[in-house]
Amino acid sequence: MELGIAGRTAIICAGSKGLGRGCATALAREGVAIFIAARGADALEATAKSIRDDTGARVATVQADVTTEAGRAALLAACPAPDILVTNAGGPPPGEFTQFSLDDWRRAVEANMITPIALIAATIQGMMGRGFGRVVNITSYTVKMPIGSLELSNGARAGLTGAVASLARRAAPHNVTINNMLPGPFDTDRVRSNWTRAAEVSGRSMEDVAKDSVRSIPARRLGTTEEFGATCAFLCSAHAGFITGQNILLDGGAYPGLM
Closest approach, Cβ 121 to ligand NAP, in A, equals: 18
Closest C-alpha to 171, from 214, 135, 143, 144: 135
Helices 151-171/102-109 angle, 10° precision: 30
* Those residues with Cβ within 8 angstroms of residue 212's Cβ, 6 or more apart along the chain or in another chain: none
Closest approach, Cβ 126 to ligand NAP, in A, equals: 22
Among 82, 185, 229, 252, binds ligand NAP (CB under 6 A): 185
Closest approach, Cβ 183 to ligand NAP, in A, equals: 4
Segment contacting ligand NAP (CB under 6 A): 118-126, 158-166, 187-195, 205-213?
187-195
Task: Check residue 183 for interaction with ligand NAP (CB under 6 A).
Answer: yes
- CA–CA separation, 28 vs 92, rounded Å? 28
3-state SS of 63-91 is ECCCCCHHHHHHHHHHCCCCCEEEECCCC
* Those residues with Cβ within 8 angstroms of residue 142's Cβ, 6 or more apart along the chain or in another chain: 150, 153, 154, 157
Task: Check residue 145 for interaction with ligand NAP (CB under 6 A).
Answer: no
Around Cβ 161, how many Cβ atoms within 10 Å?
A: 19
Around Cβ 256, how many Cβ atoms within 10 Å?
A: 7
Q: What residues does 59 pair with on adjacent strands?
A: 34
User: Closer to ligand NAP at the Cβ: 156 or 168?
Assistant: 156
Task: Check residue 14 for interaction with ligand NAP (CB under 6 A).
Answer: yes
User: Closer to ligand NAP at the Cβ: 5 or 249?
Assistant: 249
Among 67, 177, 179, 237, binds ligand NAP (CB under 6 A): 67
Q: What residues does 180 pair with on adjacent strands?
A: 137, 247
Task: Check residue 8 for interaction with ligand NAP (CB under 6 A).
Answer: no
User: Closer to ligand NAP at the Cβ: 133 or 229?
Assistant: 229
Task: Check residue 87 for interaction with ligand NAP (CB under 6 A).
Answer: no
Among 28, 168, 191, 232, binds ligand NAP (CB under 6 A): 191
Cβ pair 176, 128 in contact under 8 A = yes
Segment contacting ligand NAP (CB under 6 A): 59-67, 124-132, 170-178, 204-212?
59-67
User: Closer to ligand NAP at the Cβ: 14 or 118?
Assistant: 14
DSSP string, 227-244: HHHHHHHHHTSGGGTT--
Cβ pair 62, 75 in contact under 8 A = yes
Among 190, 197, 204, 239, binds ligand NAP (CB under 6 A): 190
Among 9, 55, 88, 123, binds ligand NAP (CB under 6 A): 88
- Judged by the rule CB under 6 A, the positions of this chain that interact with ligand NAP are 14, 16-20, 37-40, 43, 65-67, 88-91, 138, 140, 183, 185-186, 188-191
